[in-house]
Amino acid sequence: MRDHVEQEFKADLAQLERIGEFIVTVLREFGLAEPKIFHLQLAVDEACSNIIKYGYANAATAEDDTIMICCSRCNGTIAVTIKDRGRPFDPTIVAPPDLETSLEERKIGGLGIYFMRKLTDEISYTYKDGQNVLTMVVRY
């Protein structure tokens, strides 16, 4: 049984379904429980959507825009690492949304990163060698 699987995808919203299928297949192979698979799939979908919409927005070389997804299993944890060469953005420093404010007064957006944090056990980010590297970890 494999403990590390990776695949590259074109940075295109039309690829989100393929990315989701990849995540589900690998996490099932790793033996993760279905509710946690669903949570991690949602978190990956949100991260990839943001990369495509904002990280690669107005990119000069759109045909070369890719997202690399690496899934690893080790010592009771599963890590999904997402790498892209879009505009640098650290989601770990984004302030949590104010959930107490009424919907009419609440700032639009910002819930996706909040959900990524809530659906995973740990999130880390680095920018290295011209790449965003976002890692989301769940324990099982």
Say which residue the tokens 């650290």 belong to: 90
Residue 52: CATH number of its domain: 3.30.565.10
The number of domains in the chain is 1
18 pLDDT tier (thresholds 50, 70, 90)? very high
**Three-class SS state of 128:** strand
Mean pLDDT, the chain, integer: 91
Virtual CA dihedral for 71, 31, 36, 47, nearest 10 degrees? Answer: 10
- pTM for this predicted structure: 0.90
Q: Residue 28 sits in which domain range? A: 4-139
Determine the average pLDDT of the residues in 57-78: 86
Spatial separation of the C-alpha atoms in residues 75 and 80, rounded to whole Å: 14
pLDDT tens across 36-50, in order? Answer: 999 999 999 999 999
